[in-house]
Amino acid sequence: MNLQSKRAVKNFFTLLFSGKLSKAEETLKRIKKRLDQEDEGYYKALYGIYYAYISDDRDSYLFQLWRKYLDGEDKSTLKRSFTELLKASYDPPKGFIQAWLDLIDMLDSLPTPHKLEKKSG
């Protein structure tokens, strides 16, 4: 994936976690058009992240990932546990794991998800 596509993905995550859901959806559609057929697994992961967030699925891996990160778990541990979990569960399509690893890499430069900020403890 080229640098321009990586920027588009980061923009998608930023919009999504800032609560700008319609703009995030538009960006996701543009990303899908840019990706090659071989990147379908990458898109499926992005769509799954989007869907888990907009449907407020607090049991999803996305919310678990953010909670672990916000509780201080480091990114290398998050990457390792995610990769082990996914490879043990099923054989994901090419690019699927990479999309999640890209999200983990970007966590410290993304806004805290607005749905987690509003949650009272």
pTM of structure = 0.89
User: From start to end of the chain, where are the E strands?
Assistant: none
- In one-letter notation, the amino acid at residue 95 is G
Which pLDDT score is estimated for 109?
96
Q: Angle 81-85-87 (CA atoms, 0-180°, nearest 5)?
A: 120
Return the pLDDT at 36. Answer: 82
Whether residue 112 is predicted with pLDDT greater than 70 in this model: the reply is yes
For residues 11-31, average pLDDT = 97
Nearest Cα to Cα of residue 73 among 65, 62, 61: 65
Work out the mean pLDDT of the chain and round it to a whole number: 91
First to last CA, the chain: 39
pLDDT 10s digits, 26-68: 999 999 998 887 789 999 999 999 999 999 999 999 999 999 9
What is the DSSP-derived secondary structure letter of residue 1? -
CB-CB contact of 104 with 78 (8 Å):
yes
Is the pLDDT at 2 greater than 80? The verdict is no
Give me the pLDDT at residue 121, please: 44
